[in-house]
Structure 1
């Protein structure tokens, strides 16, 4: 586990304006890396900023000796910001090269730097990432990894989706197993639990090759039930690495569903809800931050998936409540735009009102302004609510409001709105009117 003072040290660096995060190193060492990779003129990517070299040293702080990487520009901000902690620190007039004792952070083929210190346990741009699932979300996520400098290959059952990548020179693979055989890290973004089980455990799946795997890290960002996530994680725990990596003893698995929708996927500002081992979460941070802006660790395997279902259930209920209130207001003679102004500065304020308003004509740039096309479909909302209700039933918990929301979205799907954005409930269930 990380020492409290190590966490406090890096938190202090962030508070001082340094864009850094904690990192886990091979063995028991820890340190901090830059969230945004920096390239020298030569094109070399530098992420590691510093290492807590003496993590287990018997000092009063638990920080121990600290080594800084003189190649990273964050060092110029880091020097002098030691927050009063004891342990090795630069003396007056000492250069960053003196601090690092000539170590320059250059990597050799063994995954160690030239000083013999094992490399950081984080996905780096020189690693290959396989991405499976190139739908509305996955395609943008994969392209953001390419932009961040990762070597990406992709797979999807949709040949048209794959061609868009191959036309841009991005390698495509014929099966999940082929992705696994050529990747250090694999990310999946799939429509349902059944798809996830098939991609991981089915014929030519990721867990093929007799349980001896090439990638050291697997991340499933699909919205699935917690049971599926935990099953895949359990199956993964029985596997071994085909070739031992410098940063992993066994393959690691995380469930990391996302929130933010297609706009956030395209902009690289997704929120990730992560379940799995904490050290796996810390190791994956740089990779996730190439696709997202906010990372939330939710606990053990399946907890990320559980959090996503709770979030989407609340989102559905909120959208229905706001739509019902707007429709009632119209029937009572109040314009939806007037109610929106009231809601957004009062106790009714919520995302469904101030960011994703369901009334056509009230807000530009949202699905309600374009006949509910695009966005998050009613079909997907019904699927997520169904998963949430099944998960609730599995633990003996009753969700009367969630169950009613599921019935409403099932009805919308039955009446031809399955591919309309879920905010269409305002018009097609509550018969609300467009704002003139």
Structure 2
């Protein structure tokens, strides 16, 4: 049993903390939102009134926060409060520069650290089937391994500090673009009289096969567990996909890379969430594609 603190108990951090508590770990947590604190407490997490209070005795500190600015601000509060040598694992999806700065601040205060953004969304967080993309020194990633194994099915050590964030943004750039292409294909098939199930049966077993088809299919029916069967509730919010695409776009500009398709995907998701600001799975972009072609 380990003493683990989770700071950021929202849609992702809350289920992660609950799974750690269910596995027998001593879990403390903090979140500024009363609802998140209440849900975590009901799941067996000992909720503290402040972040520093939550990490005071922790061997491992997990953060799950919205932006790099949030992560760095919280690290400035938590690093001095945590016990000497406590391992910091940031599971947020943030920009590369902030991830590197977080590693530097942790190292300066004697704390090993890992950036470990996740793939799998809320469903994966609840089921404990996340995939972690880890960046950091080998010893730190190894130390995080047993904790991450409770929360996910796989951890990939991508390289040194910030490598996990690089892998996450590259992966999601592909995911965002592929969901648009898959959605356009289903809309085209509908207009030409082809049943969605027939197209799925072909694409899922041929060269068009991808995660956007086989797992997160944007039409109801072929994949019963996809958000399309729940009016696009749950899953990975379109706003978060846009955030990740913008992170990839910014990183590409810094690296001198011209991601033509990635930028088209960014622009398309920006249009979608502007026209339809509801919180929906990113596969709901198919509804906007249908509207564009009445």
TM-score tier by shorter-chain length is over 0.9
Distance 1:287 1:168, change over 3 A: closer
Please tell me whether residue 416 in structure 1 is matched to residue 276 in structure 2.
Answer: yes
**Is it true that 1:237 corresponds to 2:107 in the alignment?**
yes
CA contact (8 A) 2:22 2:44 kept: no
**2:19·2:128 contact (CA, 8 Å) conserved in 1?**
yes
Q: Please give the alpha-carbon distance, in whole angstroms, between the structure 2 residues aligned to 1:238 and 1:169.
A: 33
Is the contact made by 2:18 and 2:45 (CA closer than 8 Å) also made in structure 1?
no
**Correspondence for 1:106:** none
Give the helix-richer structure, 1 or 2.
2
User: How many Å apart are 1:208 and its aligned residue?
Assistant: 3.6
Q: CA deviation at 1:164?
A: 2.2
Partner of 1:192: 67
- Partners of 1:377 and 1:418 within 8 A in 2: no
- Give the structure-1-normalised TM-score: 0.65
- Residues 1:207 and 2:79 aligned together: yes
CA distance in 2, matches of 1:292, 1:390: 29
RMSD: 1.7
Which of 245, 249, 253 does residue 113 from structure 2 map onto?
253
Give the Cα–Cα distance (whole angstroms) in 2 for the partners of residues 198 and 223 of structure 1: 15
CA distance in 2, matches of 1:161, 1:331: 44
Flag the structure with more relative contact order, 1 or 2, with Cα contacts below 8 A and sequence separation at least 6. Answer: 2
- Which residue of structure 1 lines up, in the alignment, with residue 190 of structure 2? 330
Q: Alignment partner of 1:290: what SS?
A: helix
| Pairing 1:309–2:169 present | yes
For 1:136, the equivalent position in structure 2 comes to: 11
Q: CA deviation at 1:215?
A: 5.2
**1:271 correspondence with 2:131:** yes
Q: Which runs of 5+ in 1 are unaligned?
A: 1-124, 241-250
Alignment partners' CA distance in 2, 1:320 and 1:276: 33
Which residue does the alignment assign to 1:156? 31
Deviation at 1:168, TM superposition (A): 4.9
Alignment partner of 1:175 is 2:43: no
SS of alignment partner, residue 364 of structure 1: coil
Indicate if the aligned counterparts of 1:256 and 1:273 stay in contact, CA closer than 8 A: yes
Q: Stretches of 4+ moved more than 2 A in 1?
A: 164-170, 212-215, 360-363, 429-433
Give the superposition deviation at 1:177: 1.6
State the alpha-carbon separation in 2 of the partners of residues 221 and 385 from structure 1: 17
Q: CA deviation at 1:257?
A: 0.8
Distance across 1 between alignment mates of 2:252 and 2:223: 35
Q: Give structure 2 stretches of 5+ with no counterpart.
A: none
2:96 matched residue in structure 1: 226
Return the offset for 1:425: 1.0
